[in-house]
Amino acid sequence: MIPQSPDDFRGRPPADTASFRVIADAVPQMLWSALPDGWIDWYTARWYEYTGQTAEEAAGWGWQAVHHPEDLPAVMRAWPGSIASGEPFEMEFRLRGRDGRFRWFLTRAIPLRDEAGVIARWYGTNTDIHAEHRARLRERFFSQLGAELSGALSLEQTLRVVTRSVVPDFADWALVNLIDDRNDVRLSAAYHSDPEKRAWLQTLRGQSYGSPSSRAGTAYVIRTGKPQVYETVSDTLLHDTIDAPFRVDFERVGFDSALVVPLFFAGKVVGTLNAVMHGSGRHYSASDVPFFEELGRRIAPAIGNATAYERERRVATTFQEAALLPSLPDVPGLTFDAMYQAAMLEATVGGDWYDIFRLPDGRVVFSIGDVAGKGLRAAVAMASVRQSIRTAALINPEPVAVLNAVDRIVRAMGEAPFVTAFVGVLDPVSFEFTFASAGHPPSLLRDPDGTVTLLDQGDLPLGLRGRADDGARTLEIAPGSVLLCYTDGLTEFDRDAVAGERRVRDAFAVASGDIAREVYARVARGRPAQDDVAILAVSFHQPLQALDDPRRAAVWSFAAADAENARRIRHDYVARLQAVGLTPDELCSAELVFGELIGNVVRYAPGAITAMLDVSGSAPVLHVVDGGRGFEFRPRLPADLLSERGRGLFLVTAFAEELSVERRRAGGSHARAVLAGRTRYRTASSLSRDAVL
């Protein structure tokens, strides 16, 4: 019943009741009045027409029944507060209409005071601002959405922003479906305002739950590119759009109303955004479609770019993981510790690397570096540079020569990247370490007494370097020392390189155990890496000649004039090779190599001789160290082919895989003979028999 006059309510009615009623009912707002204690004793007809309440239901505080439950607590704080203070009341909140849907209203109330200043009555208005409120909400929503999407660093973050942004203001729950590489439509992200139902939805991620031939829902929108709105979702619609194995799960989450819009990227549909109402009393209508179409237009490029970026990241990460060492090599007398940490605040991988490998002659090469840039291009360049260093070191294991060769390769790449690199070569017999740098952060060497030295021998980065004729430095490493190499991401946690280098040095000075990880932990202090970080630590325990492990190496020392001792050592040398599996023919070749190298030393460098057999690598290596004048060897026949002089070392090159002889810093020469593999040994053995015959 709509009251005919304010006289129907208790309290003092407004003056001129009949004319006031006519005027009030003509006003588009809802008008009302209340007693000083807040008891509402009169509404215009529009209140009853909108809410569907009767006069008895609306009287007093009955208006609470049509307030949105989320807004009511705030209203019940603000309205009694105005009653107590006498201050005007103004607030925006939602009221439920007779159709069950809520609309936004602006409510204002002012007090009417008597001559003594005492409040005699409150007069108020409820103005429908639903359109204006939604317009403001959407404008604010799109502004905030743009900022959040720009800060998303991955596809997962982008999808999380998208689904959470529409809940609860524009949906009770939402999901995003994307088309994968196999053209299957899969649920890629979902968010529900109810935590329990949100957990149910998470179990469906990655599932292809819909029938691709459906004439409604997601499948239809993907095929046609047209949005679809379902004011009421029927059981028949669910049956037609969701495959049977998933139907129960979606029914548990619930559908009252739904709206599906296509996501276009690069001219084609890449997925859908599905918004759903359930439990809140809200329903979608055709008037909601333009907003969600605009939302789809805004989020689709972000999702498409994130998907493409994620695909590149996946490829780049796979490429990078393949390029990095799967395991660290096992070298007698040395311990390696290394780590790679991708930047936590970046959406893609970088070009940092570390590498350790042994040359066939037993020397160990370390390299570490950083290719400027991110993504697949940087990962490919990194793999190319790292492999080029390996190749160059196999040809000429001098760090400067290696960097010169790789610099030319980097320049030839086209759009040459900016690359910093450090290359070091260690002789495990003498612990002599030769190194050079191309624009890379200086490595650190910690002596056994704890003194930390900066290895700052360097030049311009690769790609800018040009040819350098010097720049290498050689140190004799003391057993018990530790070398630390790292990329510049380790010094950039605070964007202060100088302070960062100091923190790295301080951390390295006290680090023990897993050196690389401990240094990283001390410098990072739990903060995410701003840039990729590669760290390589090498602990030097004992050189080969001091190693007491006959399974890995054997060392003999004798005088050049002591023929009897030389024969005994030769016999022991052959026995050890036989023990590691060499065949008789291979042993014959290896014995010839031993005899020629020792004979050469006896002839040209009388005195003490040290012979070492290293069987810890991929091929046995014979080292012969003397204290003579020292020389370097170039494999060539003597000018007089009938001369006995100069033929021995040439024969060694025929029966060994590799032979190198170089001067030692302490005086004398160091010969390294890599004993050939099985196929090469058989060939060499045949040559030996032919020569004997």
HEC assignment per residue over 536-590: EEEEECCCHHHCCCCCCEEEEEEECCCHHHHHHHHHHHHHHHHHCCCCHHHHHHH
Same domain? 190 vs 78: no
The torsion of the CA quartet 47, 51, 55, 59, rounded to 10 degrees, works out to -80
CB 274 within 8 A of CB 177: yes
Q: Indicate if 427 and 296 belong to the same structural domain.
A: no
Token readout for 99 is: 């159709």
SS3 595: helix
Q: Six-digit token pair at 74?
A: 């705030």
What is residue 643's predicted lDDT score, i.e. its pLDDT?
45
Extract the tokens encoding 489: 């991401």
Report the CATH number that the domain containing residue 112 is assigned in CATH. 3.30.450.20
User: Low-confidence residues of the chain, pLDDT below 70?
Assistant: 1-22, 153, 312-323, 344-350, 375-376, 414-416, 457, 469-470, 548, 631-648, 677-693
Residue (of 457, 444, 458) closest to 504 by Cα position: 444
What are the structure tokens assigned to 522, written together?
């001390």
Distance of alpha carbon 87 from the chain centroid = 56
Q: Say what the pLDDT of residue 321 is.
A: 65
pLDDT of residue 517: 93
- Quick one: CA dihedral 493, 499, 501, 506, positive or negative? negative
Same domain, yes or no, for 405 and 535? yes
Widest distance between CA atoms in the chain:
141
Contacts (Cβ under 8 Å, ≥6 apart) of 616: 330, 331, 332, 552, 553
Give, in degrees to the nearest 5, the angle at Cα 381 between 377 and 384.
145
* 527 shares its domain with 422: yes
Among 383, 419, 422, 417, CA closest to 402: 422
CB 655 within 8 A of CB 682: no
Residue 678: how many other CB atoms lie within 10 Å: 12
User: Which residues touch 311 (CB under 8 Å, ≥6 apart)?
Assistant: none
Sequence-ordered list of residues with C-beta below 8 angstroms from that of 161, at least 6 positions apart, any chain: 145, 148, 149, 152
Asked whether residue 385 falls in the same domain as residue 498, the answer is yes
The strand pairing partners of 124, in sequence order, are 32, 109
Same domain, yes or no: 407 and 530: yes
Give the C-alpha distances (Å, rounded to integers) separating 28 from 23, 95, 328, 553: 10, 16, 80, 100
Does residue 540 fall inside a structural domain?
Answer: yes
Q: Per-residue pLDDT tens for 79-111?
A: 999 999 999 999 999 999 998 888 999 999 999
Q: How many helices (H) and strands (E) does the chain have?
A: 19, 25
CATH number (domain holding residue 489) = 3.60.40.10
> Beta partners for 368?
354, 422
Q: Does residue 311 lie within any of the structural domains?
A: yes
Query: Domain range for residue 53?
Result: 6-128
Q: Is residue 1 part of a domain?
A: no
Integer angstrom CA distances of residue 518 from 336, 441, 484: 14, 19, 12
Domain count, the chain: 4
Select from 67, 95, 128 the last residue of a domain.
128
In a domain, 222, yes or no: yes
| CB-CB contact of 564 with 378 (8 Å) | no
User: What's the pLDDT score for residue 344?
Assistant: 60
Same domain, 12 and 106: yes
| In-domain check, residue 457 | yes
Candidates 115, 128, 117, 36; CA nearest to 82 is 36
Q: Say whether 328 sits in a helix, a strand or coil.
A: coil
* Whether residue 436 sits in one domain with residue 351: yes
CA distances for 251 relative to 189, 197, 219, angstroms: 18, 11, 18
Task: Quote helix, strand, coil % in the chain, to nearest 5.
Answer: 40, 25, 35
Q: Are residue 347 and residue 486 in the same domain, yes or no?
A: yes
What pLDDT is stored for residue 411 in this prediction? 85
- Residue 213 burial (CB count, 10 A): 9
Q: What is the dihedral of CA 642, 643, 649, 654, to 10 degrees?
A: 0
3-state SS of 60-122?
ECHHHHHECCCCHHHHHHHHHHHHHHCCCEEEEEEEECCCCCEEEEEEEEEEEECCCCCEEEE
> Of 95, 128, 161, which one is at a domain's C-terminal end?
128
Close Cβ partners of 432 (under 8 Å, ≥ 6 residues apart)? 426, 474, 475, 476, 477, 664, 665
Tokens standing for 480?
Answer: 């018990």
pLDDT of residue 51: 95
pLDDT digits (tens, 9 = 90+) for 155-213: 888 888 889 988 988 899 999 999 987 888 999 999 998 898 988 888 888 888 888 88
20 belongs to a structural domain: yes
Instruction: Give the residue from 523, 544, 565 where a domain finishes.
Output: 544
The alpha carbon of residue 245 and the mean position of all alpha carbons in its chain are separated, in whole angstroms, by 35
Q: Is residue 612 part of a domain?
A: yes
Cα-only R_g, the chain? 41
**In the prediction, which pLDDT does 642 show?**
44
CATH number reported for the structural domain that contains residue 653 in this entry: 3.30.565.10
**176 and 104 housed in the same domain:** no
Distance CA 99, CA 204 (A): 34
Domain assignment present for 291: yes
Angular region, 473: left φ>0, alpha ψ -120 to 50, beta rest: beta
Residue 373 to residue 461: CA distance in whole angstroms: 14
% residues pLDDT > 90 (the chain): 41
Regarding whether 340 and 274 lie in a shared domain, the answer is: no
Distance CA 33, CA 58 (A): 12
Same domain, 118 and 194: no
- Name the 3-class secondary structure at 9: coil
Residue 175 to residue 167: CA distance in whole angstroms: 10
